[in-house]
Amino acid sequence: MKGKIINIQHYSLHDGPGIRTTVFFKGCPLKCLWCHNPESINYKDDLMYQRNNCTLCKRCLNVCENDALKLQGEQIIIDKSKCKSCFSCVENCYFEALYKKGQDYTEDEILKEILKDEVFYEQSSGGVTFSGGEALMQDEFLLEVLKKCKEKNINTAIDTCGFVDFSKLQKTLNYCDIYLFDIKHMDSKIHKEITNVPNELILENLKKLSSLKANINIRLPLIKDINDDDKNISKLIEFLKTINFNKINILPYHKMGQDKYEKLNMNARNFEAPDMNRLNLIKSKLEIFNKEVKIGG
């Protein structure tokens, strides 16, 4: 069995407790307007373009049989509607200006990468976090990797958007120590406008997971004028009163993924994080639960 991965990040400090290895899976059922990892949305391998590496040699134009590439000014433009993902252009790009995002790993290959940081897990009470994209879209592969991690006594976390069949979550219960569960908006109509899916399944899954006594950390990506308003925060508080959870992480929007849109030949949307006064006000409101509330991962 193999899984499709976009990145394995060692020495991560923001995806659960302690020092962690974060494994980013490819494929996501959501299309959040502010997505920091747009290369993780599609399950298929993505063709990406690093403009600074390009010498404009035009070799890629000559090998593309589908006319998916063209020279525009001082850069190559990718027509995704014509690209058949043969990656002949990548094979013939000597300077790695064109490259493929997405790599197939076996369970043992993933475990080998995870074990590279084993000494840090022991020293910091860390472990491995499976993120994405949405790791549960590759649920069978994820489950096998989780089992191998537990055989090695490695702390495991799943960072999930929650938009999956609950059976996929349920079968990880014996092998996942922490669920990092995102809540993006409490209004289903707005949720669909900003993520491409409604939120009923997500909230229902969170309730079910809570009823099974899972260890849940709530994660709140906050974007100015999108989901930081009083009405949404009030609805969130009322919902959180109905479930059990351990802590809340407020995740202000950041622009660190902006360059990925250019590499994918996609247009990035302009968003901003709420200012610190607003973040601290929201934090104070969420402290009603007497749980740890932290701004940041």
Spell out the per-residue pLDDT of the chain, length 297, in tens: 999 999 999 999 999 999 999 999 999 999 999 999 999 999 999 999 999 999 999 999 999 999 999 999 999 999 989 999 999 999 999 999 999 999 999 999 999 999 999 999 999 999 999 999 999 999 999 999 999 999 999 999 999 999 999 999 999 999 999 999 999 999 999 999 999 999 999 999 999 999 999 999 999 999 999 999 999 999 999 999 999 999 999 999 998 888 999 999 888 899 999 999 999 999 999 999 999 999 998
The CA-atom distances, in angstroms, between 96 and each of 48, 91, 121, 211 are 10, 9, 34, 49
Asked if 129 contacts 22 with a C-beta cutoff of 8 angstroms, the reply is yes
The per-residue pLDDT for range 199-235, each reduced to its tens digit, is: 999 999 999 999 999 999 999 999 999 999 999 999 9
Domain ranges of the chain: 2-42+103-295, 46-101
The token pair at 69 is: 């590439």
The residues facing 3 across adjacent strands are 105
Give the architecture (CATH level 2) of 2-42+103-295: Alpha-Beta Barrel (3.20)
- Phi, psi (5° rounding) for residue 147? -60, -40
Tokens 């649920």 belong to residue: 139
pLDDT number for residue 248: 98
Asked if 257 contacts 38 with a C-beta cutoff of 8 angstroms, the reply is yes
Tokens 């069995």 belong to residue: 1
Asked if 98 contacts 89 with a C-beta cutoff of 8 angstroms, the reply is yes
Gap between the Cα atoms of 160 and 163, Å rounded:
8
Single-letter code of the amino acid located at 289: F
pLDDT number for residue 265: 87
The residues facing 293 across adjacent strands are 248
The token pair at 249 is: 């992480």
* Domain 46-101 in the same topology as domain 2-42+103-295: no
Half-sphere exposure of 262 (CA within 13 A, CB side): 10
Helix ranges restricted to H, 156-229: 166-170, 188-195, 200-211
**pTM (predicted TM-score):** 0.95
CATH code, residues 46-101:
3.30.70.20
The residues facing 292 across adjacent strands are 247
DSSP letter for 208, please: H
The CA-atom distances, in angstroms, between 55 and each of 58, 62, 117, 261 are 8, 15, 37, 21
